[in-house]
Structure 1
Amino acid sequence: MTTRTTTQLVTFMLADRLCGIPVDRVQEVLPGRPRTRVPLAPDDVAGLVNLRGQVVLSVDLRRRLGLPPHDGDQMMVVVFVGDETVSLLVDRIGDVLEVPDDRFEAPPQTLSEELQGVIRGAYKLSDRLLLALDVDAAAS
């Protein structure tokens, strides 16, 4: 009998796209917090946020990926990037999904250039695609 390997992903929405990050890369998920702008920073740097005394860079994934701005409140997915902690701003948090590794495929060719730079691939779910985000590329 063969064992089917799976990956656990924290999922979130960016516009109409379902994205996921491996659970072991996520420190926590929080509602958006006030941010301090960073002078002369690129547009996709949303600012700095104070998380229990730790100053964390906040990256607006919508801006980084060339998507229109989000109208409502955003959520923060706080991730590990090397020795640093970075907050990724997303539209909405989803569930933690366990997906079979054999459903992983190369990124769809229809993705925008910005998305192709930060998506490792996609998992085919029964009703949609789950885009696997490259945390290091998205946060840098």
Structure 2
Amino acid sequence: MEVLNKNDYVTIWLDGQMCGIPVLEVYDVLSKQTITKIPKSPAAVAGVLNLRGQIVTAIDLRKRLKLKDREDDSEEMNVVVEFQSEPYSLIIDRVGDVLSLSDDAFEKNPVTLEAHWQEVSTGIFRLEEELLVILDIEKLLSFGDAKAAA
């Protein structure tokens, strides 16, 4: 049996950018879900979904990071994480593999990384073909003074 550790990341894609979420922070990966909208919620809050009887706030990461809307009707996916003891479903473009990476390869955010990524990232890994931006769930789900909670 493979042992997962703090250097294992679930890879996800948003608007062509590969990102990583520490595997120990991911509770579930779901296909597209039925989401109920919440009136007067922040734009990034897509609504809520029912996950095995539990109400989960769904956050559209494209809207949260002010990225362009999805151009096609491709099936989005959901990654469920926990923040302040509450589950959140992060709506993403797609999920990739789990990567095990060495601490030695981790770098602070480069100054050339776009501001919206720097705001929610703990740092990066330079992979052979692309940059892996490591997402900080706490920063991602803190919208200024207001929390993501609906």
- TM-score, normalized by length of structure 1? 0.92
Structure-2 separation of matches of 1:67 and 1:112:
11
Paired position in structure 2 for 1:53: 53
Structure-2 separation of matches of 1:36 and 1:102:
43
Paired position in structure 2 for 1:99: 101
Paired position in structure 2 for 1:120: 122
SS at match of 1:27: strand
Paired position in structure 2 for 1:77: 79
Letter in structure 2 aligned against 1:74 = E
Q: How far off is 1:122 after superposition?
A: 0.2
Structure-2 separation of matches of 1:34 and 1:135:
23
Q: How far off is 1:111 after superposition?
A: 2.7
- Say whether 1:108 aligns with 2:117: no
Higher strand share: 1
Paired position in structure 2 for 1:34: 34
Q: How far off is 1:113 after superposition?
A: 2.3
Structure-1 separation of matches of 2:47 and 2:110:
31
Which one is further off, 39-48 or 101-110? 101-110
SS at match of 1:59: strand
Structure-2 separation of matches of 1:135 and 1:80:
8
Q: How far off is 1:82 after superposition?
A: 2.5
User: Which ranges of structure 2 fall in alignment gaps of 5 or more residues?
Assistant: 143-150
User: Which ranges of structure 1 fall in alignment gaps of 5 or more residues?
Assistant: none
Q: How far off is 1:59 after superposition?
A: 0.4
Residues 70-118 of structure 1: per-residue CA shift (max 9 Å, x gap): 1322100000112111000110100000011111111122233222110
Structure-1 separation of matches of 2:48 and 2:6:
35
Give runs of ≥4 in structure 1 deviating > 4 Å.
none
Paired position in structure 1 for 2:147: none
SS at match of 1:93: strand
Aligned positions, number = 136
Identity of aligned residues (%): 43
Structure-1 separation of matches of 2:108 and 2:31:
31
